[in-house]
Amino acid sequence: MTVLDKLVDTFPFVDRPSRAVALSAILTACIRRSLPTAPMHAFTAPTAGSGKSMLVDLASVIASGREAGVIAQGKTEEELEKRLGALLLAGDQVIAIDNCEAPLGGEFLCSMLTQTVVRPRILGRSEAPELPANAMVTATGNNLVLVGDMTRRAVLCQLDPKEERPELRTFDTNPIAAVKADRARYLVAALTVLRAYHVAQRPNAPNPLGSFADWGNWVRGALIWVGQADPVDTIEEARDLDPKLDMLVAVLTQWSKVVGGADVSVRDLIEAATAQRSTSLGAFQHSKPEFLHPDFREALLAVAGDGGAVNSRRLGKWLASHQNRVVQGVRIMRLGLSAGIMQWRLEGKTEETAHASL
């Protein structure tokens, strides 16, 4: 492990788990074809030139002898799916979604990480062939944000050189050049770590990580066994940065404060969030209406806003997509129809007193 550890010494990791993600990328790339699934390895930094893409290329050169196949994120999920499909069709061993500027997620990418076979739409073709999803997927971006289900499907390496122009830094060695000059040494080092852990009968295997049990029982376990941090510790950080989760937490928090655990319809929620009162401005001025619960209104607008108003149809769909998910001890429960109208309830530890008029 010392050989690989020294290889990444010059990179400005923010903590030990981030360093473990970089080492995991190397080990995972070397055996990705033998694993049914593996999480995406994501690399983020506050500024360009911090070494994100170089870490991806390090893993790729050690595993395959060449830099990773690079694609741009694209403007839509459909564009990304077609680009990923093209690289799967080409048989690339390591795929790099480079320089992501928008939050990264999407149904196809999530499926590609947790399924052994996918059917992507291929760029420039009107077909969706069945392809093995056995490429290692990486992503890089400045302040990269993972959204939705992607947060549990990726380990996140954070870099921070704490310099305005990190691309101007100079080093005594070039890691990519070192690997290309003696690739066999680094490949053998990676495989030796994995084999040693296997020969030792994989002691103290970590608890299984959903959808990535084999990867966790080998790559993750080997890293922990040799004294590295657990790369899975970074998943919580990615989750905390998820804007979709932030919006969900905001709605649940305000729902709890304003409505509590009462049975409500979508209309009830909107009326509670948009209830107003008049504030007197003096004897010669008209009264000014103000919202009783502006934070609740803003939370609903964020998930179901339409032209400055809360769209009831969008809110209903949003509630359905998040029902039964436990967040901070509460969850949205779908109760069924009452007089033809769907009823909902926030179940769990809600506010003792709700002061909305329902």
Band (38; pLDDT cuts 50, 70, 90)? very high
d(CA 253, CA 261): 12
**Is residue 134 scored above 70 in pLDDT?**
yes
Is 122 a residue whose pLDDT tops 90?
no
Backbone angles phi, psi at 124, to 5 degrees: 80, 5
- Per the model's pLDDT, the better-predicted residue between 161 and 284 turns out to be 161
C-alpha dist (Å) from residue 139 to 133, 210, 329: 16, 21, 32
Write down the pLDDT at residue 356: 41
- Which position has the higher pLDDT, 20 or 282? 20
Q: Per-residue pLDDT for 8 more than 50? A: yes
Question: Is a pLDDT exceeding 80 seen at residue 348?
Answer: yes
- 139-148, 149-158, 236-245, 286-295, range with the lowest pLDDT: 236-245
Q: What is the pTM of this model?
A: 0.77
| Statement: residue 281 has pLDDT above 70 | no
Identify the residue with better confidence: 328 or 352: 328
| Residue 239: Cβ-neighbour burial (10 angstroms; 0-12, 13-18, 19+) | middle
Quick one: tokens of 349? 């530890």
Angle at 50 between CA 47 and CA 56, to 5 degrees: 120
What pLDDT is stored for residue 287 in this prediction?
A: 65
pLDDT, tens digit, for every residue of 161-178?
A: 888 777 777 677 889 999
Quote the percentage of the chain above a pLDDT of 70: 93
For residue 65, how many other CB atoms are within 10 A of its CB?
Answer: 12
State yes or no: pLDDT of 355 exceeds 50: no
Residue 358 has pLDDT above 70, yes or no: no
In sequence order, the 6+-apart residues with CB closer than 8 A to the CB of 309 are none
d(CA 327, CA 259): 17
What is the pLDDT, as a whole number, of residue 310? 92
Strand pairing category for 40-45 and 136-142:
parallel
Structure tokens at 283: 């004897």
d(CA 83, CA 71): 7
Segment 247-255 mean pLDDT? 91
Q: How many CB atoms are closer than 10 A to CB 170?
A: 4
Q: Is the pLDDT of residue 209 over 90?
A: no
Q: What is the mean pLDDT of the chain?
A: 89
pLDDT at 48: 87
CATH superfamily for 2-240 is: P-loop containing nucleotide triphosphate hydrolases (3.40.50.300)
Residue 281 neighbours by CB under 8 Å, 6+ apart: 287, 288
Task: Supply the pLDDT for residue 33.
Answer: 95
- State the pLDDT confidence band at 283, using cuts at 50, 70 and 90: low
Domain chopping of the chain, boundaries: 2-240, 243-348
Mean pLDDT in residue range 64-83: 92
Burial zone of 147 (CB within 10 Å; 0-12 exposed, 13-18 middle, 19+ buried): middle
Print the SS3 string covering the chain.
CHHHHHHCCCCCECCHHHHHHHHHHHHHHHHHHHCCCCCEEEEEECCCCCCHHHHHHHHHHHHHCCCCEEEECCCCHHHHHHHHHHHHHHCCCEEEEECCCCCECCHHHHHHHHCCEECCCCCCCCCCCCEECCCEEEEEEECCCECHHHHHCEEEEEECCCCCCHHHCCCCCCHHHHHHHCHHHHHHHHHHHHHHHHHCCCCCCCCCCCCCHHHHHHHHHHHHHCCCCCHHHHHHHHHHCCHHHHHHHHHHHHHHHHCCCCCECHHHHHHHHHCEEEECCCCCCCCEEEECCHHHHHHHHHHHEECCEECHHHHHHHHHHHECCCECCEEEEEEEEECCEEEEEEEECCCCCCCCCC
pLDDT mean over 67-89: 91
Residue type, 134: N
- State pLDDT tens for residues 310-321: 999 999 998 998
Examine the pLDDT at 123 and tell me if it is beyond 80: no
